[in-house]
Structure 1
Amino acid sequence: MSAPVSLAHYDFSGRVAVVTGAAGGIGRAICEAFARNGASAVNWDRVPGEEDTSCAPRHFQADITRPESIEAALAATLDAYGRIDYLVNNAGFAGPTLPLDEYDPLEWQRVIDVNLLGTYHVSRFVVPVMRRANAGRIVNVASLAGKEGTPNASAYSAAKAGVIAMTKSLGKELAQTGILVNGIAPAAVETTLLAQMSPAHVQTMIDKSPLRRLGTTDEVAQLALWLCSDSCSFSTGAVFDLSGGRATY
């Protein structure tokens, strides 16, 4: 018999959490976890996602590859709430699974635009808001691919490696401002994205994990909440693996 699950509880009352790409998957789990812990949760995504839960976040339309779209979402958020305490840069795009020399250059650029440049653009608009408040937390969702380099996913691996390096750089830049910047590097997580992959490929990812299973969106959400909580006070510019023991460096 498995032990009962006892999750940490936080008091985010009066705080505003923006999560990009929160229409579904990891982003939605993070947004709903913020809401359950008292925060005003805001989804910046092109679509709102499911609205049939008690924790459904507020949606402001945003395409993170278009700076003017981010600016509009930021203005709407500040108009509604007056502040942004937490930013989780989660929106991403995996792209096709192909050898590098078969990769379409336009698709390569799109993967970089969404994962790396999108994270940059959202951060550059939100950081000044946090600077004015002398407080804030930024969590960038990277990937174990950015550390290991996943075969046939060179664009995604390169983009997430960039996110990891940017997290470390921005964390140092903001270390004296009251703003902490950290990252999460998950291995394979159970989302609808896996339905696009063959069962054999999914099983290969499971076999690489010493825990012999996929991660869950709720497990990513719990780490994101801790990184935004007052319990995390001496970590910045760090990237936390969530790999089921797979990371070996």
Structure 2
Amino acid sequence: MILIIGASGGIGKFLFEKYKSIDSQVIGTYNSSSSNVVELSKVDVTNFDQVFNWIETNKTSLNNITLINCAGISYNSFAHKSDPEKWKKVIEVNLIGSFNTIRVVLPIMREQNFGRIINFSSVVASKGTAGTSAYSASKSALWGMAKSLAQENASKNITINNINLGYSELGMIEQVPEAFLNTLIQQIPAKKLCDSTDIFRTVEYLRECNYTNGSSIDINGGLI
């Protein structure tokens, strides 16, 4: 069973539809956007009880779980001008929300002696970009969390890895003003945005490989 957190938009929606198209068992969540897809449930990942109840509702069908954490928000502001509450909200969704979903499914994975956890991090966390301190902090924190959780769960055939995504055709690229998009693309050595197919291939690699664990894989077209 594939669980996609944040499956109603961007990368999460693409992966959900891709797995549905190849007849995989997949369910997911949405929150800020709307959805009438029967396999998607409205869940606020920052609320542990909501996450727990969603998993409990579907528990009997959860076998050989792959958890893909795609839910995320951004907040752009120079730190000295930032709104502390908006800054904290990014941490709550991107980091604590990811931990909440992991925390709920880990006992099931450990009981079944199998699990794949894939978090979406970002090139921004390593590149350093002005105005993205909240987003960068939330995404780089996933790296340390993955390493610790790998130590705790590798003996149970559970892997947890991150995909450090550069600028892709999906997701938050729509927030980049058109005037800056071409300039941004020229900064990428590959001179193009990441194709959605490469995202899917990387997810599949992490699902199939049982020895890649606690790692972060860059998909960035050479951007550093």
Same fold (TM over 0.5): yes
1:89 to 2:69 alignment: yes
The correspondence for 2:6, drawn from 21, 46, 71, is: 21
Unaligned runs of 5+ in 2: none
1:75 to 2:52 alignment: no
Q: Could you say which residue in structure 1 is the equivalent of 2:162?
A: 183
| Post-superposition offset of 1:84 | 5.4
| Post-superposition offset of 1:193 | 3.5
Q: What do the CA deviations read for 1:116-157 (whole angstroms, capped 9, x no partner)?
A: 111111111111110010001010111111222221101000
1:85 is matched by which residue type in structure 2? I
Instruction: Report the aligned-residue RMSD.
Output: 1.8
Residues in 1 aligned to 2:136 and 2:62: alpha-carbon distance in whole angstroms: 36
The correspondence for 1:233, drawn from 201, 210, 213, is: 210
Which aligned segments of 4 or more residues in structure 1 are displaced greater than 4 angstroms?
none
| Post-superposition offset of 1:88 | 0.5
Q: What do the CA deviations read for 1:151-187 (whole angstroms, capped 9, x no partner)?
A: 1101000110101211122122211111011110001
How many residue pairs get matched?
Answer: 223
Q: Could you say which residue in structure 2 is the equivalent of 1:62?
A: 43
Q: Could you say which residue in structure 1 is the equivalent of 2:118?
A: 139
1:115 to 2:100 alignment: no
- Greater helix share, structure number: 2
Q: TM-score of the superposition, structure 1-length normalised? A: 0.83
Unaligned runs of 5+ in 1: 1-15, 52-56
1:211 partner SS: coil
Q: Any conservation in 2 of the 1:78–1:84 contact (CA below 8 Å)?
A: no
